[in-house]
Amino acid sequence: MQQFLQKLKTQPMMSGTSTGQAFWHSSAVEGDDSLLKSYSPVDGQLLAEVYPTTAEDYDKVVQIAQAAFLKWRSVPAPKRGEIIRQMGEQFRLYKKDLGTLVSYEMGKSLQEGLGEVQEIIDICDFAVGQSRQLYGLTMHSERADHRMYEQWHPLGVVGIISAFNFPVAVWSWNAMLAWVCGNVCIWKPSEKTPLTALACQQIIKDVLERNDVPEGVSCLITGGREAGSWLTEDPRIALVSATGSTRMGKAVAQTVAGRLGRYLLELGGNNAIIVSQYADLNVAIPAIVFGAVGTAGQRCTSTRRLIIHESIYEDVKNRLVKAYGQLRIGNPLDEKNHVGPLIDPSAVAAYQSALFQIKEQGGRLLIDGEMLEGPGFESGCYVRPAIAEMPAQTEIVQHETFAPILYLLKYRSLDEAIALQNGVPQGLSSAVFTLNLREAEQFLSAAGSDCGIANVNIGTSGAEIGGAFGGEKETGGGRESGSDAWKAYMRRQTNTINYGTSLPLAQGIKFEI
């Protein structure tokens, strides 16, 4: 990884992606607080300092992007797909380096870091196929000698705002599809993980240059909330695709709707697994533990609530406590460890506050959480995954705490379990573990889970790119990645062609002159 970091430092960025300014600053500038500092939660080291984009630079980036769109939109979609195919090849080459950097900058396990790069590769492959399948329908006209059909055209400049927990994959879900659809992209990554974003731009740079892709097709701006709001307020940004907290999504939605722009939101989840008395617990328990502690509970699809049938409650509880006792917490780059750090000290504070509220709201901690100290935990970001028995879905259970805290609830009937599962403001991912066909079908029916993702005998986290990804209610309603998610990046046009010698009007209206 060191060589890779060195390469990032020494190679200039494409000017269109950085407006000519060097983003990377290798050593601290005394007294310069304006730089974005990327600290690794793994060991607390300062990884990099990055120049935040200025308002002036932002304006230049948008102009360059707009100019690039005029050319890119006319490149045939399969040719755009071929360029994405080459990007996929490039990410294959850099999978280990980028995956390691994701793990080091964000704190997820090395396997998950590599998995995130694999998602980029997979969506590249998907987008290549999609580039030949931007289908519109044809319709039969009610008028003689007329033909009707619809076409899908690109939108223009797509702004991508991403969260820290999937620092690169979420960008690729958006960018690869947006590009094959003929759009250009401006990416504003999380201010907590700017380095992995710079690395992605660097990795695709050769492909863009080799193919003479107009400068500005792939743009990057760095900064925090303010930089994000430039995109949301700017009428030149045709679509804002934003991934992050519900708080952020509400602000983005209001601003973009205020200018009647388009938005696509992927926001917080509060995901539950129902464990039925008919569950195969040998399948369920690993799924629950991975869902609850994987990425230290910092996935939008992390398992946060467990709704357990009363007849097996004690058994499930005991198995979970035993499994948690075997968890190894530590450096995520060491493959022996199961749980890495939280992203930063403010996330640790939110976790501690949630533990306090659990007790205040009548919860009982089966495994109490704590911040870990001592050798290996110097960053101050490592915490013990906790399990809490709750008397009901109290306020804290309704809230997404982005940390490894699992709430246990009991149920008697499946109707009651489904009502509990749906009884939170968020609607991202859900699952039932049962071998009973009726239960499984009820859970998947219109009267079942109200989430965007509903699984049977699979946990809540770990979606594949082939399906449309996203959720309902406060999760924002957006869909990304597979299925027909590409349509969000295009505008639909209905075309009617008259190849006859008269002018019949629709609905039989007569108009004679």
Tell me which of 23, 69, 72, 164 binds ligand NAD, using CB under 6 A.
164
Check residue 267 for interaction with ligand NAD (CB under 6 A): yes
Tell me which of 248, 296, 397, 451 binds ligand NAD, using CB under 6 A.
248
Check residue 190 for interaction with ligand NAD (CB under 6 A): yes
Check residue 402 for interaction with ligand NAD (CB under 6 A): yes
Binding track, positions 284-303, relative to ligand NAD; x by CB under 6 A: ----------------x---
Q: Which long-range contacts (CB under 8 A, 24 or more apart) does 484-487 make?
A: 485/177, 486/130, 486/134, 486/177, 486/180, 486/181, 487/152
CA dihedral over 391, 394, 398, 403, signed as positive or negative: negative
The distance of closest approach from Cβ of residue 504 to ligand NAD in the complex, given in angstroms and rounded to an integer, is 48
Tell me which of 57, 191, 215, 439 binds ligand NAD, using CB under 6 A.
191
- Contact present, 384 and 332 (Cβ < 8 Å): no
- Contact present, 447 and 401 (Cβ < 8 Å): no
The 3-state secondary structure of 158-208, one letter per residue? EEEECCCCCCCHHHHHHHHHHHHCCCEEEEECCCCCHHHHHHHHHHHHHHH
CA dihedral over 62, 64, 66, 72, signed as positive or negative: negative
Check residue 251 for interaction with ligand NAD (CB under 6 A): yes
Check residue 171 for interaction with ligand NAD (CB under 6 A): no
d(CA 434, CA 188): 42
Among residues 119, 266, 474, 480, the one annotated as catalytic is: 266
- Asked if 266 is an active-site residue, the reply is yes
Helix (H/G/I), strand (E/B), else coil: 502: coil
Tell me which of 94, 166, 324, 377 binds ligand NAD, using CB under 6 A.
166
- Contact present, 156 and 67 (Cβ < 8 Å): no
Check residue 17 for interaction with ligand NAD (CB under 6 A): no
Q: Which is nearer to ligand NAD, 19 or 302 (CB)?
A: 302
Select the span of 121-129, 138-146, 163-171, 313-321 touching ligand NAD (CB under 6 A): 163-171
Q: How far is CA 153 from CA 134, 173, 480, 488, in A?
A: 9, 19, 18, 11
Residue 310's φ and ψ, nearest 5 degrees, are -60, -30
Check residue 354 for interaction with ligand NAD (CB under 6 A): no
Check residue 434 for interaction with ligand NAD (CB under 6 A): no
Read off the tokens for 221.
């701006």
Q: Using CB under 6 A, count the residues that bind ligand NAD.
A: 30
Tell me which of 266, 306, 377, 482 binds ligand NAD, using CB under 6 A.
266
Helix (H/G/I), strand (E/B), else coil: 131: coil
Check residue 210 for interaction with ligand NAD (CB under 6 A): no
Select the span of 42-50, 264-272, 274-282, 481-489 touching ligand NAD (CB under 6 A): 264-272
Query: Which residues form the interface with ligand NAD (CB under 6 A)?
Result: 161-166, 170, 188, 190-191, 224-225, 228-229, 232, 243-245, 248, 251-252, 266-269, 300, 400, 402, 428, 475
Positions marked active-site: 266
